[in-house]
Chain A
Amino acid sequence: MAAIAKKSVAVLLQIGVHLGGLLPLLWLFYAINAGHLGGDPVVELIHYLGMGTIRLLLLTLVVSPLAKALHFGQLNRLRRPLGLWCFVWASLHFSTWLALDLGLDWSLIGEELVRRTYILLGFTCWLILFALAITSIPALLRKMGKNWKKLHGLLYVAVLLACWHFWWSVKSGWIEPAIYLGIAISLLCWRKESVMRWIKSLRSW
């Protein structure tokens, strides 16, 4: 494939990522009104946004090994928009819980964060995504140099935390969270070398 064709494919994919991040949110807006989320849309909304976050996280992890396998470096352009959409979805998931489930009752929120490990796991995951999103500002990226890569390796931790958070949050039935955790671990194995390199790089931090 010619370089130009590859580039336009990458641009199209990038547009696709943005549409993929945005359109389901617009659908949600419609779905709530149409009653598709049932009599208590709050919980459904939280689950929908949480599952979306996990799927986006997994998708983000697919990009660079795939780019390498296909010799299609342009694909790496998708990482940033995917990562940022992860953060948007995670933030919507988190704020729906804060505002609509717990009604911004801060003492209750604090208590829940401390006492319920699965919530703490999810919160930690959100903090990581927050740090990664903030440092995606190009000026900061340049300024951070090597440390940027070290920080962004935390995505590996975030994806595991997200799956673990899902596992502990379900009332019954472990099959679905197990599938997601399995996919996450396989994706990390697929890029074993990058993961190992990242772990090694932390020693010099």
Chain B
Amino acid sequence: MLIKVPPKSALREAQTTSESAYVSRRSVIKGLGAGIGGLLLSGNTGAVDLFGDGVEGGASEATPRKPLQFSPQRPAPDLVLTPVDKVTNHNNFYEFGTGKTDPAKYSQGFKTEPWTLRVEGEVEKPGTVDVWKLMSDIGLEERIYRMRCVEAWSMVIPWVGFELGKFLQRFQPTSRAKYVAFETVYDPEQMPGQRNRYVGGGVHYPYVEGLRMDEAMHPLTILSVGLYGKTLPPQNGAPIRLVVPWKYGFKGIKSIVKITLVEKMPPTSWNKLAPNEYGFYANVNPDVDHPRWSQASERFIGPGGLFSVKRQPTLPFNGYGEEVASLYKNMDLRKFY
């Protein structure tokens, strides 16, 4: 299959505000030391501001995020970052409700500490890791990725995490391991969407996802424990989530408690709910429409207010074709969507 790689200049618009704001913010936070969430709450004073960001603050910091030690991405890609408030106030996390603002509202106080992650199945050394200990032991790095939701909106998010592949190697996968199955925590007491089918959008819980082994081992695939330099807020999948930048956002399973290496293709939540709409692969593909959304273009949620909305063409594999197209070279991506 022919993969068109767009010129590097394709996304170089207005590379001004957000990233520099982020970098300076980050250096200030580093300079001052721990936990100054207030820095992220500055700015909007409530004046009528339909043209500005307008969403500073909100509920995002009700659960304080902890600063992380990590190596910044160098060189940083030429991407305009989505402001942190938008990343943390526009989420799909049906366990906390189907509205985009529900997760930020209803996940505050969600207990993410302590947290253990079990790795089992086709591995020589199954084991359980303490995620918070892992965060300080494993070398964390920043990955600034495009994030594309199947609902045709996109963001650019500076994740902090580590490669899933390197992590899985610790458990010594056997030769029978062909797929990786992931599972979100099942905790109906804390997650209203798991208590009530109506709140949870009819999804069968716990949420499950899966990757093929080669996708899981790909260096672009990470387990993320933070964004914008600090630990994840609950609505973004604290304390640990999956990020696969060339796939639609729903593959990025949140608040993971179990990873199982398996021989057969594992079930995935959205595929179970509507197999004609959501396939196992879910690679970002402008040529294959979702029944409800054209995938040819996307609305980028960037800096700026309501009237600075930008539509942009969607890139094959979300712009990561150069790195990942070879994984699918003999596959009909219309069939394996």
Contact = CB atoms under 8 A, between A and B. Distances in A.
Interface of A: 29, 32-45, 100-103, 105, 108, 111-112, 115-116, 118, 169, 171-176
Contacts, number: 107
A175 B198 CA distance: 7
B227 to A, nearest CB: 13
Given A173-B201, A174-B202, A103 B100 contact: no
Given A33-B49, A108-B297, A172-B203, A38 B292 contact: no
Closest 8 CB pairs of A and B: A39-B86, A39-B90, A38-B101, A39-B89, A35-B55, A103-B311, A172-B201, A40-B90
Contacts of A39: 55, 82-83, 85-90, 100, 301
A36 B56 CA distance: 11
B249 interface: no
8 contacts: A32-B54, A35-B44, A38-B100, A38-B104, A39-B86, A40-B86, A111-B294, A173-B201
A41 B100 CA distance: 9
Contacts of B153: 40, 43
Contacts of A29: 48, 50
Interface of B: 44, 46-50, 54-58, 82-83, 85-90, 94, 98-101, 104, 151, 153, 197-198, 201-203, 273-274, 289, 291-294, 296-297, 299, 301, 306-307, 309-311
A172 B309 CA distance: 26
Nearest to A103: B311
Contacts of A35: 44, 54-58, 85, 89
A33 B87 CA distance: 17
A104 to B, nearest CB: 9
B289 A115 contact: yes
- Residue among A35, A116, A173 with the most chain B CB within 10 A? A35
B55 A105 contact: no
A118 B54 CA distance: 31
Given A112-B294, A171-B151, A42 B299 contact: yes
Nearest to A34: B46
A108 B306 contact: no
A29 B46 CA distance: 12
B311 A102 contact: yes
Given A34-B46, A36-B101, A100-B309, A171 B292 contact: yes
Contact of B100 (A43, A111, A115): A43
Contacts of A111: 294
Nearest to A118: B292
Given A173-B202, A175-B198, A105 B297 contact: yes
Given A29-B48, A33-B54, A175-B202, 12 more contacts: A32-B306, A38-B86, A38-B104, A39-B86, A41-B54, A41-B55, A41-B306, A100-B306, A100-B307, A112-B294, A172-B98, A173-B201
B48 A33 contact: yes
B43 to A, nearest CB: 11
Nearest to A104: B311
